[in-house]
Amino acid sequence: MKSKIRIISLIGVACGVFLSYLFWPNCSYQNLSFHQIAPTVFAASGPTSDPQERCQKYFDIVKAMAASRPSNSRYLTSRQIANHIDHLRVYLKCHIDLKLNETQESAILGRELLPMFSGQLPLVPRHDWTPFYGHEGYYWSRYVSTAKGRGIVISLDDANTEFACRLLQVLAHLGNTLPIQFIHKGDLSSASIETLLSVGNQNVEFMDVSPTLALGYSSIFRGYNNKWFAALFSTFEEIILMDADVVPFVNPETFFDFEGYNRTGAYFFRDRELSETLSKSQFDFFATMIPTTDALFNITIDPAKLNNNFFNFKSKHVMESGVVVLRRSSHISGIIISLALQYWFHSGRIMYGDKDLFWLGQLISGNSEFHLNENAAAAVGVMEANNTICSTQLGHFSKDRKLLWTNGALTVCKKNTWLFDFLSYPHLREKFNYSISKMRDNYKTSIELKSAILPASIEKLNGENSSEITSRFVKDHSRGCGGIYYCASSDEGGEVIDFSPQEQLRYKRITSIWNSPLIPVV
């Protein structure tokens, strides 16, 4: 009996401690907004003061008004997150853009704003960190100053090594000469590294970023979250950030030639246009963090960047992040803010993974210098009845309708879900003659690329600013593959792209190379 009472008491104490952690009054700057502080900064320093002077005054006021240290809890309220991001934006603006010297006090503030970082450097074989130690100032300013050259950057773990090996074979076929960095958190085994070194005949190196993370934070950032570290810690100045299951159909080096990239320093690809939308509170959470004007630090957002499906329809799907082309020195602040937003439960779970946080992070940082591809993502594959294409792949096309890359690998289904699908869908069991091995073999079959459908835009289908939207891109769980099949229709103004015989032959060759056995290069 006593032991039961003791256990109940311990549970009660644990619950009390946890609830106190969640709901203890927060008197830090996470309860102070930029708009509360900015007028005081203007009054104290004057509108004609030096920007660095305003920076110092801003941080002095923050310190004076905050009665406690900020919380590292992942359960901050939306208002506390927004305030935290306000101060982080100012901190990055001052220390990266304006080159404000870092003092002991400002370094403490920097660690509070970004508690996930240890301040250490990643492990990169053969890399010279002398320039980093030779510079003074803020960590990220010094880190970016050491970056040079162009390259492909891929976040990777053991689970996706086979995809990466197949990508290397395709890159070799396309004549890629860019160096490739595989970035991991110590979760890429020596066996995987040896395999990657043995295929494709590409110039590859490996970077372990686990030392850059503070104790206890590595497990928080998993899966797609690791792409932020790839974008942040690559030693290339200009990067093509790729997912391992991406397949390029042109030499990716040409991505750096895009006019939109050369004009802005960031080229993003659009997602498929779906009908899923955000609630008003979810939309407002992100929209109100964007500093459309900020006289204190001369931030002005290009109004054209506030005119897309996110703003017009509260769309949850604007960008696909399988390929991101980025000049890091001019966009590092936005990447840092995106990573911070991924950290908290409230802000990290509104959007799907990292995708739309790429462009939202740039706007929230005060940077509207990026270009979104003219075409939304398309369905690619073989035309079915009723003018539809259903597949697990997405196709991304240039302005003149040339296929640039796909994601989702190049098999019928990249997932090992045949057992679940076989048991879940009677019509699939019948389709494969009640043979699970036939279903498995079908999933591993190479896809055919004969056509593509660019469905009518949701703006064309729904008019402007419609509260409820429809789309001609629809998910179809009944086709299996763990529910990642999407069907696109060309009805109501969609566009069908039929690949020429020459294109089909070229795409078939790339598909064959991707699906071929992994052959070590001697």
pLDDT in tens, 341-388: 999 999 999 998 899 999 999 999 999 999 999 999 999 999 998 899
pLDDT digits (tens, 9 = 90+) for 417-470: 999 999 999 999 999 999 999 999 999 999 999 999 999 999 999 987 677 899
Tell me how many degrees the CA angle 252-448-376 measures, rounded to the nearest 5: 55
Whether 319 shows a pLDDT value over 60: the answer reads: yes
Q: What's the pLDDT band for 225 if we cut at 50, 70, 90?
A: confident
**Global confidence as pTM:** 0.93
Residues 360 and 385 in one domain: no
pLDDT at 14: 53
pLDDT at 101: 85
Query: Are 330 and 267 a contacting pair, CB within 8 Å?
Result: no
**What percentage of the chain reaches a pLDDT higher than 90?**
78
pLDDT at 106: 87
Print the SS3 string covering 258-278. CHHHHHHCEEEEECCCCCCEC
Nearest to 200 by CA among 226, 161, 242: 161
Dist. CA 395–CA 129, nearest whole Å:
39
Residues 150 and 192 in one domain: yes
Residues 289 and 404 in one domain: no
Dist. CA 327–CA 72, nearest whole Å:
30
Dist. CA 358–CA 238, nearest whole Å:
16
Mean pLDDT value of segment 40-63: 87
Structural domain containing residue 334: 130-372
In a domain, 7, yes or no: no
Query: Are 349 and 342 a contacting pair, CB within 8 Å?
Result: no
Residues 483 and 427 in one domain: yes
Residues 78 and 134 in one domain: no
Residues 171 and 308 in one domain: yes
26-59 exposure pattern, b = at least 16 Cβ within 10 A, e = fewer: bebbbbbebeebbeebeeebeeeeeeeebbbbbb
Q: Which amino acid is at 134?
A: G
pLDDT at 23: 47
Residues 367 and 382 in one domain: no
Copy the structure tokens of residue 26: 């927060």
Residues 230 and 155 in one domain: yes
- Find the farthest-apart pair of alpha carbons in the chain and give their distance in angstroms, rounded: 81
Most confident of 18-27, 65-74, 330-339, 458-467: 330-339
Q: How many domains does the chain contain in total? A: 3
pLDDT at 1: 57
The contacts of residue 314 (CB under 8 Å, 6+ apart) are 277, 278, 279, 280, 282, 283
In a domain, 13, yes or no: no
Residues 80 and 99 in one domain: yes
Q: Which of 173-182, 251-260, 364-373, 513-522 has the lowest mean pLDDT?
A: 513-522
Residue 58 backbone phi and psi in degrees, to 5:
-60, -50
Residues 338 and 395 in one domain: no
